[in-house]
Structure formats: structure tokens, C-alpha cells
Amino acid sequence: MKDLTRFELRKLLERPIIWGGLLLVLLFSLFLSYSSYRNMYAFDPILHMEGSGKTAVEINKAAAARYEGILTDEKVQQMLSDLAPKTRPGGINAICLGINAVWSAAAPRFSTPEGSWNGTAVSDIYGDEIIKIGYVDGWLTTSSNIVRIFIVLSFVLILAVSPIFSGEYNGVDNLILTAQYGRSKCAAAKIAASLITAAGAFLVIAGANLLFAFLLYGKEGLDCSILFAPLEFVERFIPFNITVGELLCYQVLLGFANMISVTGIALALSALSKNQLAAFAVCAALYVLPILIPVSETSGFFRILALLPLFYVQFVSLMAIEQMGSGLLYAVWALPVSVLFIVMGGFVSYKAFAKHQVF
């Protein structure tokens, strides 16, 4: 069995689509990371500094360092006093001005259009929650980029796995299925090789992106709450007081669940289809379809729909559903569901390939 798995793994890794796809995703990751980094802009009225790229990161870190710690009403008023731009009544809305990351987080919640305190207390927004604040821009930018990267990687894996069974239905199946272990161990080896490839590709891409982020932004902000995120980050819509580090852990786990799930679906369709292109097209369509279904996020059906693979990558809606009594988010159900996907996909592909008629 080990020899067969190694053989099938070698066959997979000898296909240019694997290495070409991985290289494409890595280059895409590098491009997104560097582009996001270079396009950052910040201005600090206290230091009288402004700039983009590395300078913007330094300005945002310096601004966050002045107020880091537990968010209080006094800190909020100090932020607004220090950072509010000079505006006049009826002029530019100060809330919409992207001065720096601290202002972008504080202004929409606590500022009037002129830049003064609107009277809202921290407890009015967050209740009894203790909100730790600091520099979160870098890692939240990475989180946003990873969504796109994992989607691209999903399609690369679908393209890589789709031919693993269907590619044999061109005459090679006559040799495989008439061999001693063709209908049993060979199918199992193909399934194992596909899972190893999917897991390996995911670890490489996820690890590379986290490494890029650490090199660009350091470890600052991982212990800060996502609830005080700047306005431009959709992660702030997750209504639970989790840290940026916890957010990334959920995102990586959900990303892994997504890769395992799409591998299971691709295996089943590959065994059921005699055409590689058809297997890829149907798998890709099934992967994308759930996001196109018009379902309100407040409906009970959405709780089921959100446990389909694409929502693992588009993780904000899934993570916003509820927090269970254990403190874990509803999103953890994606892990057993992904196991179900791979078990069902493996079972269907194993049976379909074993029962395939040879001529």
C-alpha cells in the first residue's frame, strides 16, 4: 500500500499543473502582500509625519503604541483630541478621512462629522467586554488577502485532483482494474495521494503567507481584539471579542477544512466522470454555487448553507453566526463536516472506480 501511495503521489507531483499552480499561488501571495504593504498610507498630526509603505506601517505602529492597552472612555477622548482633522460644520466629514489606523478605528464609533467626541461611551458599544487595542492593520490586511489566496488555491487543487480517476478512463483502466489490487488498493492509494497533496499544498501556501506577514509587520496586534478594527476591515463584523491571533487560527483551520472538502468532492466527481474537463467544471461549479444562493444570513437555512466549503474561505459570515457555550464559535462545525466530505468523497470514488467496467 505504501509503495502504491508513493507511486500515485509521484504521478501527481510529476504533473506540471501542481508545481505551476503552486508557483502561481505563491507569486500571487507575494504580489498581494507587497502590494498591500506598499499601498498603505498614514499621517500622524502629533509626529507631523506622513508616508506610505514602510513609513505608513511605522506611523500606524507609533500611533497605536500611544493608546495601546485596554480601551477606555478617556483614551477615546484623547484619540479624538490628538488626531481629529481640522474641519468646519458642513464641510468634509472627518469620519471618512483615512488619517491613520487609530483614527479609522475610533472615528466611525466615537466621532461627530466635525471630529469631536459624539458622547458615546465604550460600554455603549461593547457592553462589559474588555477591549484590548493596538496595531492590528498588518495582520488584518493579511487575513483579507488570504481569503483570495485560498480561493485560488482551491481551484488549483480541483484542477490537480480532477484527473486522478477520470484520467485513467482512456485505456489505462483496463490494466489497472485487471491487476491483483487494481480495484482496491490502487483506488485507496489515489485517495491517499490526493489528500497528501492537498494538505502539503495548503501548508506551504498558508505558511508562506504567515511568514510574509511576520516579516512585514512583526507580531504586534495578535493579542488585540478584532472589535476595534478599522472601518475598512470586514473582520469587524464578527461580533465576538476574539483576538486577531484567534481569528487567524480559525481562518487557517477553516482554510484547511476547505481544502480537504474540495479534495473529497473532486475525488468523487473524478471517479464518476470519464472526462477530466467535465469533472473539473462540475466540481468548480458546485464549489461556487452556494455563494450565489440568495439566503439571508439571519435565516436558519444559512446555518446549514454556511457549512459548505466556500464559506470556510469566506469565513466572516460563518464566524459571525454564534458563540457556543464552550466559548468556541459555530464555525468549528466546519471541521467535522469537512471530514464527512472527504469520507463520502473517498467512499464514492473508491466504489465507483472499483465497479468501473473494463472492455
Over the stretch 140-169, which tens digit does the pLDDT of each residue have?
A: 999 999 999 999 999 999 999 888 877 666
Quote the pLDDT of residue 341: 94
Does residue 180 carry a pLDDT above 70?
A: no
Does residue 53 carry a pLDDT above 70?
A: yes
DSSP state of 169: T
Does residue 205 carry a pLDDT above 60?
A: yes
Helical H segments across the chain, by residue range = 2-13, 16-39, 54-67, 73-83, 101-110, 122-126, 137-161, 163-166, 172-177, 185-217, 244-272, 276-292, 300-305, 309-313, 315-319, 334-354
The verdict on 214 and 339 lying in the same domain is yes
The verdict on 143 and 268 lying in the same domain is yes
Domain boundary pick from 80, 115, 131: 131
All three cell numbers of 320? 459571525
Least confident of 84-88, 178-182, 288-292, 349-353: 178-182
Task: Return the amino acid letter for 117.
Answer: W
Residue 359 domain flag: no
Compute CA distances 85 → 41, 55, 92, 96, 115, whole Å: 16, 20, 10, 11, 7
The verdict on 240 and 336 lying in the same domain is yes
Q: For residue 175, what are the domain limits?
A: 2-36+136-354
Residue 231 domain flag: yes
The verdict on 51 and 158 lying in the same domain is no
Does residue 280 carry a pLDDT above 70?
A: yes
User: CA 129 to CA 148: how far, in whole Å?
Assistant: 31
All three cell numbers of 351? 466504489
Quote the pLDDT of residue 232: 83
The verdict on 318 and 333 lying in the same domain is yes
Number of domains composing the chain: 2
User: CA 184 to CA 346: how far, in whole Å?
Assistant: 12
Quote the pLDDT of residue 247: 95
Nearest to 8 by CA among 172, 204, 203: 172
The verdict on 177 and 313 lying in the same domain is yes
The verdict on 118 and 149 lying in the same domain is no
Domain boundary pick from 94, 113, 131: 131
pLDDT tens-digit readout, 23-51: 999 999 999 999 999 999 888 888 888 88
Does residue 304 carry a pLDDT above 80?
A: yes
Domain boundary pick from 131, 161, 177: 131
User: CA 272 to CA 70: how far, in whole Å?
Assistant: 56
The verdict on 195 and 253 lying in the same domain is yes
- Confidence category of residue 126, pLDDT binned at 50, 70, 90: very high
Residue 205 domain flag: yes
Structural contact between residues 177 and 358, judged by C-beta atoms closer than 8 angstroms: yes
Residue 68 domain flag: yes
Q: Residue 119: what are its φ and ψ, rounded to 5°?
A: 90, 0
Compute CA distances 298 → 103, 311, 322, whole Å: 31, 15, 11
- Confidence category of residue 3, pLDDT binned at 50, 70, 90: low
The verdict on 107 and 140 lying in the same domain is no
User: CA 267 to CA 346: how far, in whole Å?
Assistant: 7
Distant-in-sequence contacts of 175-182, Cβ < 8 A, 24+ apart = 177/353, 177/354, 177/356, 177/358, 178/358, 181/4
The verdict on 292 and 157 lying in the same domain is yes
Residue 31 domain flag: yes
Q: Residue 44: what are its φ and ψ, rounded to 5°?
A: -120, 110
Higher pLDDT, 238 or 327: 238
224-261 in b/e burial notation, b at 16+ Cβ within 10 A?
bbbbbbbeebbbbebebbbbbebbbebbbbbbbbbbbb
Number of Cβ within a 10 Å radius of residue 1 = 12
Range 91-104 average pLDDT: 77
Residues ≥6 apart with Cβ < 8 Å to 221: 64, 134, 135, 136, 137, 138, 139, 140, 244
Using the Cα atoms of residue 175, residue 181, residue 187 and residue 192 in order, give the sign of their dihedral.
Answer: negative
Quote the pLDDT of residue 211: 95
- Confidence category of residue 295, pLDDT binned at 50, 70, 90: confident
Structural contact between residues 126 and 227, judged by C-beta atoms closer than 8 angstroms: yes
Q: Mean of the per-residue pLDDT values for the chain?
A: 86
The verdict on 324 and 205 lying in the same domain is yes
User: CA 21 to CA 116: how far, in whole Å?
Assistant: 51
Residue 13 domain flag: yes
Which phi-psi region, left, alpha or beta, contains residue 93 (left: φ > 0; alpha: ψ -120 to 50)? beta
All three cell numbers of 333? 462545525
Q: Residue 56: what are its φ and ψ, rounded to 5°?
A: -65, -40
First to last CA, the chain: 26
The verdict on 69 and 13 lying in the same domain is no
% of the chain residues with pLDDT over 70: 90
